[in-house]
Chains A and B, each alone.
Chain A
Amino acid sequence: MPPKKPQAQAHAPRGAKATASGSKPAEPTSRIEIVDGVDGEIEHPQVEYAGDAATAQEPAAAEHPKRRRAAPEKPKDEFAALLEPFYYGKSLTDPINTAEDKWNLLPAFLKTKGLVKQHVDSYNHFVDVGLRKIIQANQIVRSDVDAKFVLKYTDIRVEQPNRVDEEDLDHHKSSITPNECRLRDMTYAAPIVVDIIYTRGGTRVKRTGVKIGRMPVMLKSNKCVLAGKSDREMAVMDECPLDPGGYFITRGQEKVILVQEQLNKNRVIVESAKGIMQASVTSSTHERRTKTYVIQKKGLMFLRHNTLSEEVPIVFALKALGVLSDKEIMLMIAGDDEAYQDNFSVNFEACAKEKIYTQEKALEYIGHRVRLTKKPMGASRMRNYHLEATECLSNVILPHVPVVGANFRPKALYVAYMARRVVMAMQDPSLVDDRDYVGNKRLELAGQMLALLFEDCFKRFNHDFKMSIDKVLKKQNRAQEFDAFLHFSNHKSHITLGVERAIATGNWNLKRFKMERAGVTHVLSRLSFVAALGMMTRITSQFEKTRKVSGPRAIQASQFGMLCPADTPEGEACGLVKNLALMTHITTEDEEDPVRKIVFGLGAEDINSYTGEGLHTGGVYQVFLNGTPIAITYGPKRFLNSFRQLRRMGRISEFTSIHINHDYKTMQISTDEGRICRPLIVVENGRPKVTARYLKALRRGNMDFEGFLSRGLVEYLDVNEENDSNIAIYESDINQHTTHLEIEPFTLLGAVAGLIPYPHHNQSPRNTYQCAMGKQAIGAIAYNQFQRMDTLLYLMVYPQKPMVKTRTIELIKYDKLPAGQAATVAVMSFSGYDIEDALVLNKASCDRGFGRCQVLKKSAQQLKTYANNTKDLINAAAIDTKEKRHMELGVDGIAQVGARLEQGSVYMLKSTPLDTQSSRQPVLYKETPVTYKLTDCSYVDKVCITENESSGMTTIKTLLRQTRRPELGDKFSSRHGQKGVVGLISPQEDMPFNDQGICPDIIMNPHGFPSRMTVGKMMELLSGKAGVLDGSLQYGTAFGGSKVEDMADLLLKHGFSYSGKDYLTSGITGEALQFYVFFGPIYYQKLKHMVQDKMHSRARGPRAILTRQPTEGRARDGGLRLGEMERDCLIAYGASQLLLERLMLSSDAHNVDVCGRCGQMGYHGYCQMCGDDQEVRQLTMPYAAKLLIQELGAMNIKVVLGLEDEFPAEA
């Protein structure tokens, strides 16, 4: 670790003052150099391949001196020690047992990667590598007017985050912190700078460090100020060290770009539907995103693409791609398999029918069917079909297969491969691909989403820049020498605003890819620590939300260890929204070229030098790199093994995957981004490579996870490669075929499901329910929870860490920010107030603070500045000392901190100008006091006054606090999906107690158990009870944890029944209860649904203006609706008078004058239509009905009301 620089902090204020004086010239940041007369190439910034060489270095050797150096200078940070990887219950000297202690790798993994490594890695990759790739793809800007003008980007960087007003300061280290951005509603962003070379007059000018916009910075990424900070430094910055990071702060809001699930790009997928077999590929390159199909319809095979107006017979396509002889086509597709040949040979008939035998003819055929994107210029409709077809085939169809020069061979091979897949699937339907297979999916992360967005913004920036210089260059005579740089900085708000707006609103609108996605970002839920964490691991599905099919929603066997099987919402999004498992990693993109070199280095031969015959002879396997065939090999097994060997040695990136497919005789190598993978222990010769020696080194701190990786003891496998491996779950399961060993089986669950003790004993839906509820539990949110100003914050007053914890709880540090309390539970019936899952609470426990929570609500007021330069203001002069509602105000017109606000109290005396348009003097103001509306009182917890960064408007945020104790109807839940509301708060003297006088905090009805089958809850009680008696914390880790038998022994040792049942005495009668009661501590969570926020009633109240019916909802003091179904009941029962009263009299009764003659409505007893008042009668009808009649009238539909006597006179 580099030595810390406290002096940097001390400098900050001086620099900040310089901003205030603000007399700096406009462009101090960019240095200017004249590169004289250089005509040739300008050096590209080399994108370094994050090399294997670095990782291949012996870590031990590199680490020794580092450790020795670090030890003396590192200040003793005892707090940080708590957060180091921990090996609970094991001291350094304890013996190591590989079978049990290999889980130590897990904390080591999380230490290097963190819990949200996928987001941070993706963002880092984007900022460090992705940005460069984007400017390389859009490197040169030319002018349409002046051919001599060139602007070239040579490099791009994202600098350290700073405030907007610090943009122009040079050599200034900003003291910005993420929490400041949260409080001041700013965007946490850093300037993006580029190096450019452009022509000015006759010279080439080089400028470095030109700002082109601001990039929002992901928290804890390598650009963030929090990167690599110790806990102490984090505390200084008001930041929580346990916060996962991985989100952005835009306009003061924490925004997460959720992980998006998509179908594989650039890979062939074979599907069948209604007798059609098709192979499709979504090609995705920087320029284009298209889909190409090879389909088999009625026995014939075609190539289909959007730019082709009709399907082209596959044979023509291949001929056009330069495969001329029919025999070669046949061999490329069908090989020497006769069944395939029979199936395919019909396709050659098309040649005879259309008389197309040459490439020339085939190109012409395709050229006729190319849809023109651009309208042909002028009247000359002369189309060069040849050229169009060539153009289309090389650039539009399968664009991810590059055509170098005029070499169409790779593309022909690709089309042939697609066709072969179709032919094979026709013969053997089991070869149809499964779209839901996790290996066929890619996850799109923040980095990729930002890359798309940034490229779009950057292109527009360049376009606008070009337009503005064109405008100037068009003028023949200019007063001064033209400097394009002056136009350059004008457009930087496009990039800044474009990116910021997208993240703030979640709308990703890209014209280029016709992409319009809404809801890409979400506000980070801060209901509890787990809620925030759960949000960071969430995956949303991009496709088919409405379809009723169960396929995409069902659990997939291939998601084992990658996606959590328990954590998914119930209802609509069930199975479509998923969560990552604990050890999952999502790959970032790696360079292809080094891998390609290694493929050929391993003796594979270039596929282009082989004919169709050579491709499909026995024993030959094709090697695919990211879905494109590049080589063939005769020794697939040897190739595979040596490739893996090289990866373990660190010669290839550890995230490269290779797997073999014996059906297609292919070898697939992947280096692309978005693959899900996880680490596993390598097993060789029936022995795991991780041995006690390495684990000892790990525990001592001599080795970290990276060390395990670079030594090839542990490797990452993606889903496809995992499918190739034989993975033993326990060391004892290893046999001679085993290739890998699981690090820990409980990592197959995610972070949220990991909170459940003994989940493997629960019925599975219960675990799913708990995953949903764990996110609603009230508890501690972060160490900086009191420094934050969230709109709504629930905090528990006395949170406790669970008695029965899991390894996951320790790993995600839930025990440091818990959300719940260990309640002593008696499972028995008590009164009638515990039916239907209701709980009986001990009143004395509530008095002692059980379930007590605080609710903090923020109300933010902005003092706006209007168009005519008038402003809102705080009018302290209007305080009326005699007015009771003004009692809480301070001399500044804002409520005093600590004051109690009752309903109707004014907590801010704001005035707004009456006239916000004209500039009339004097400015008149209207009093708009901010009043407290809730019925229950609150205390003013904090008042924060700050200035908005961009608008300069004053924002006053008031934090109002309520402390709530549990009341009837508040919702509680254990960690096993067993929720219940408080049915009774019973005085302690009535509660049962045991021999020792222990009284339960909660009494739970035993009917909760039989149908729910939450055995885990019983085991939690047992382990918890044993732990209480023993003074220890027990484990309920999935597929492990403390054994029931051991717990029973512990109970016995302390004189309790081994079954966990106790003898209780009734508090009411004083007699012994006739039964033994299952009695012990269970961790209970208080959920955010509280009666106080929901209680609502109304007799009379506000009505909607349009319909005059009662308003809706508690917030508007709305009425209680007698809905359709209730109405149906009343109709069926025949309670007509009740109906009339509910639906009209108590709602929107209205008197109207209706003319019996014309059936129209009149007024004041007069009919306007008939011109008299003879037949006009008054009657009552719902106002909504009257409105409907009038609205229909407005649409030229006449409605006539027919009147008749209710009690007709006898004729």
Chain B
Amino acid sequence: MSSQNYSYNPSGQQASAPVTAESGRSVEYTCGDCDASVQLKRGEPIRCRNCGHRVLYKQRTNRMVQFEAR
């Protein structure tokens, strides 16, 4: 059956590529309970070191954000 242009593919999926794990780079998150900042590396359990809370939020970007006020 020729089904070349019948099924719609929104995003061209790339083939596999082994991941070069970039460890060492840590990202800061904020604890949802005590507001402490938590440095997390990849693979680390998600947990606040201060209070043990397991909900972390990503910190706001420090890039400039422009809003369209209308």
A interface residue numbers (CB < 8 A to B)? 12-13, 16-17, 20, 180, 183-184, 847, 873-878, 890-892, 894, 896-900, 911, 914, 922-929, 931, 933, 939, 942-947, 954, 965, 1101-1103, 1105, 1108, 1111, 1117
Give chain B's interface secondary structure class: loop
Asked if A911 and B46 make an inter-chain contact with CB atoms under 8 angstroms apart, the answer reads no
- Counting from the closest, the 7 A-B pairs by CB-CB distance are A1102-B8, A896-B61, A943-B58, A16-B52, A892-B27, A877-B22, A924-B16
Query: For residue B22, which residue of chain A has the nearest CB?
Result: A877
Q: Which residues of chain A come closer than 8 Å to B56, judged between CB atoms?
A: 944-946
Asked if B13 and A926 make an inter-chain contact with CB atoms under 8 angstroms apart, the answer reads yes
- In the assembled complex, the Cα of A93 lies from the Cα of B52 at a distance in Å of 52
- In the assembled complex, the Cα of A874 lies from the Cα of B21 at a distance in Å of 10
Q: Which residues of chain A come closer than 8 Å to B60, judged between CB atoms?
A: 896-898
Q: Which residues of chain B come closer than 8 Å to A20, judged between CB atoms?
A: 52
Asked if B46 and A954 make an inter-chain contact with CB atoms under 8 angstroms apart, the answer reads yes
Asked if A877 and B58 make an inter-chain contact with CB atoms under 8 angstroms apart, the answer reads no
Asked if A896 and B63 make an inter-chain contact with CB atoms under 8 angstroms apart, the answer reads yes
Q: A873-B19, A877-B22, A946-B46 are in contact. Are A184 and B55 (CB under 8 A)?
A: yes
Asked if A926 and B15 make an inter-chain contact with CB atoms under 8 angstroms apart, the answer reads yes
Q: A925-B17, A1103-B8 are in contact. Are A184 and B54 (CB under 8 A)?
A: yes
CB of A264, distance to nearest CB on chain B (Å): 47
Q: A16-B52, A183-B55, A1108-B6 are in contact. Are A922 and B18 (CB under 8 A)?
A: yes
Jot down 7 A-B pairs with beta carbons below 8 A, ordered by A.
A876-B22, A876-B42, A896-B61, A899-B61, A926-B13, A926-B14, A945-B57
CB of A913, distance to nearest CB on chain B (Å): 9
- In the assembled complex, the Cα of A106 lies from the Cα of B69 at a distance in Å of 46
Binary CB contact string for chain B from 1 to 42 against chain A (1 if under 8 A, 0 otherwise): 001001110110111111111100101010010000000101
Among the listed B13, B19, B46, B52, which residue makes an inter-chain contact with A945, where contact means beta carbons less than 8 Å apart?
B46
Asked if A17 and B52 make an inter-chain contact with CB atoms under 8 angstroms apart, the answer reads yes
Q: Which residues of chain A come closer than 8 Å to B17, judged between CB atoms?
A: 924-925, 927
CB of A187, distance to nearest CB on chain B (Å): 15
Give chain A's interface secondary structure class: mixed
- In the assembled complex, the Cα of A13 lies from the Cα of B53 at a distance in Å of 8
Among the listed B13, B46, B59, which residue makes an inter-chain contact with A947, where contact means beta carbons less than 8 Å apart?
B46
Query: For residue B6, which residue of chain A has the nearest CB?
Result: A1103
Q: Which residues of chain A come closer than 8 Å to B46, judged between CB atoms?
A: 945-947, 954
- In the assembled complex, the Cα of A843 lies from the Cα of B57 at a distance in Å of 38
- In the assembled complex, the Cα of A545 lies from the Cα of B53 at a distance in Å of 47
- In the assembled complex, the Cα of A13 lies from the Cα of B59 at a distance in Å of 23
Asked if B19 and A942 make an inter-chain contact with CB atoms under 8 angstroms apart, the answer reads no
Given A891-B27, A894-B58, A925-B17, 17 new contacts (CB under 8 A): A16-B51, A184-B54, A877-B20, A877-B22, A890-B27, A897-B59, A898-B65, A914-B16, A924-B16, A924-B17, A924-B18, A925-B16, A939-B65, A944-B57, A944-B58, A945-B46, A1101-B8
Q: A876-B22, A891-B25, A1105-B6 are in contact. Are A947 and B45 (CB under 8 A)?
A: yes
Q: Which of A184, A914, A943, A945 has the most CB of B within 10 A?
A: A945
CB of A1039, distance to nearest CB on chain B (Å): 45
CB of A1182, distance to nearest CB on chain B (Å): 15
Q: Which of B7, B14, B25, B61 has the most CB of A within 10 A?
A: B61
CB of A51, distance to nearest CB on chain B (Å): 42
Asked if A898 and B32 make an inter-chain contact with CB atoms under 8 angstroms apart, the answer reads no
Asked if B58 and A890 make an inter-chain contact with CB atoms under 8 angstroms apart, the answer reads yes
Query: For residue A904, which residue of chain B has the nearest CB?
Result: B11
Asked if A926 and B51 make an inter-chain contact with CB atoms under 8 angstroms apart, the answer reads no
Among the listed B10, B54, B61, B63, which residue makes an inter-chain contact with A946, where contact means beta carbons less than 8 Å apart?
B54
Query: For residue B9, which residue of chain A has the nearest CB?
Result: A1102
Q: Which residues of chain B come closer than 8 Å to A933, judged between CB atoms?
A: 10
Q: Which residues of chain A come closer than 8 Å to B11, judged between CB atoms?
A: 929, 931
Asked if A897 and B61 make an inter-chain contact with CB atoms under 8 angstroms apart, the answer reads yes
Asked if B25 and A876 make an inter-chain contact with CB atoms under 8 angstroms apart, the answer reads yes
Asked if A942 and B65 make an inter-chain contact with CB atoms under 8 angstroms apart, the answer reads no
- In the assembled complex, the Cα of A498 lies from the Cα of B22 at a distance in Å of 43
- In the assembled complex, the Cα of A931 lies from the Cα of B50 at a distance in Å of 34
Query: For residue A238, which residue of chain B has the nearest CB?
Result: B32
- In the assembled complex, the Cα of A728 lies from the Cα of B13 at a distance in Å of 74
CB of B11, distance to nearest CB on chain A (Å): 6
Query: For residue B48, which residue of chain A has the nearest CB?
Result: A13
Query: For residue A19, which residue of chain B has the nearest CB?
Result: B52
- In the assembled complex, the Cα of A1102 lies from the Cα of B9 at a distance in Å of 9
Asked if B61 and A945 make an inter-chain contact with CB atoms under 8 angstroms apart, the answer reads no
Q: Which residues of chain B come closer than 8 Å to A873, judged between CB atoms?
A: 19, 42
Query: For residue B11, which residue of chain A has the nearest CB?
Result: A931
Asked if A1105 and B70 make an inter-chain contact with CB atoms under 8 angstroms apart, the answer reads no
Query: For residue A1106, which residue of chain B has the nearest CB?
Result: B6
Q: Which residues of chain B come closer than 8 Å to A954, judged between CB atoms?
A: 46
Q: Which residues of chain B come closer than 8 Å to A945, judged between CB atoms?
A: 29, 40, 46, 55-58
- In the assembled complex, the Cα of A1101 lies from the Cα of B7 at a distance in Å of 10
- In the assembled complex, the Cα of A184 lies from the Cα of B16 at a distance in Å of 31
Q: A891-B25, A899-B65, A1101-B8 are in contact. Are A944 and B16 (CB under 8 A)?
A: no
Among the listed A183, A899, A929, which residue makes an inter-chain contact with B32, where contact means beta carbons less than 8 Å apart?
A183
Q: Which residues of chain A come closer than 8 Å to B52, judged between CB atoms?
A: 12-13, 16-17, 20
- In the assembled complex, the Cα of A943 lies from the Cα of B60 at a distance in Å of 9
- In the assembled complex, the Cα of A1102 lies from the Cα of B8 at a distance in Å of 5
Q: Which residues of chain A come closer than 8 Å to B50, judged between CB atoms?
A: 13
Asked if B27 and A947 make an inter-chain contact with CB atoms under 8 angstroms apart, the answer reads no
Q: Which residues of chain A come closer than 8 Å to B10, judged between CB atoms?
A: 933
CB of A625, distance to nearest CB on chain B (Å): 53
Q: A13-B51, A877-B22, A926-B16 are in contact. Are A943 and B3 (CB under 8 A)?
A: no
